[in-house]
Amino acid sequence: MSIAGTIMNKIFGASKASATPAAASGLTSAAASAPPSVAPAGAAPPTPAAGAAPAAPTASVDVAAILDALNEKHPEKLYWRKSIVDLMKLVGLDSSLTARKDLASELHYTGDTNDSASMNVWLHKQMMTKIAANGGKLPAELTH
């Protein structure tokens, strides 16, 4: 999995951890207990995407709440709202310069990867944009 995909999976996966499998898939308890090949009488036929994982979460995920909760449990206080290094650490990823250069390559960074300060700012902004585009609810200061 890509680095960006892993970051998003850690965030969006954390939001699903508290949901039951039926709730996470949007099924009611009656529908969840019915055999998949048997539809209730009078039920509409399933849509082609039924059972397929959605491309983006259907409900907005409060990213700040998830990451703040992770930060409370972390041994060091991290500034994920401003730092790509801290965001990567918070979700359990390698935050070394090499890993950040790999992320920059993955996200098609065209600047100088030896200018790590500029690259880090760009990476953080790109990740916040990707998270928001995939159903993540972010504080206003992180979406500009």
Q: Is residue 112 part of a domain?
A: yes
| Residue pLDDT, tens place only, 36-76 | 344 444 444 444 444 334 344 456 899 999 999 999 999 99
Residues of the domain holding 115 = 59-137
Q: Number of folded domains in the chain?
A: 1
Which pLDDT does position 10 carry in this prediction? 92
The parts of the chain modelled with pLDDT lower than 50 are 18-57
Q: Is residue 36 part of a domain?
A: no
Domain for residue 13, yes or no? no
**Residue pair 53/131 in contact by the 8 Å Cβ criterion:** no
Spatial separation of the C-alpha atoms in residues 104 and 108, rounded to whole Å: 6
Does 29 reside within a domain? Answer: no
Tally Cβ neighbours within 10 Å of residue 59.
10
In a domain, 40, yes or no: no
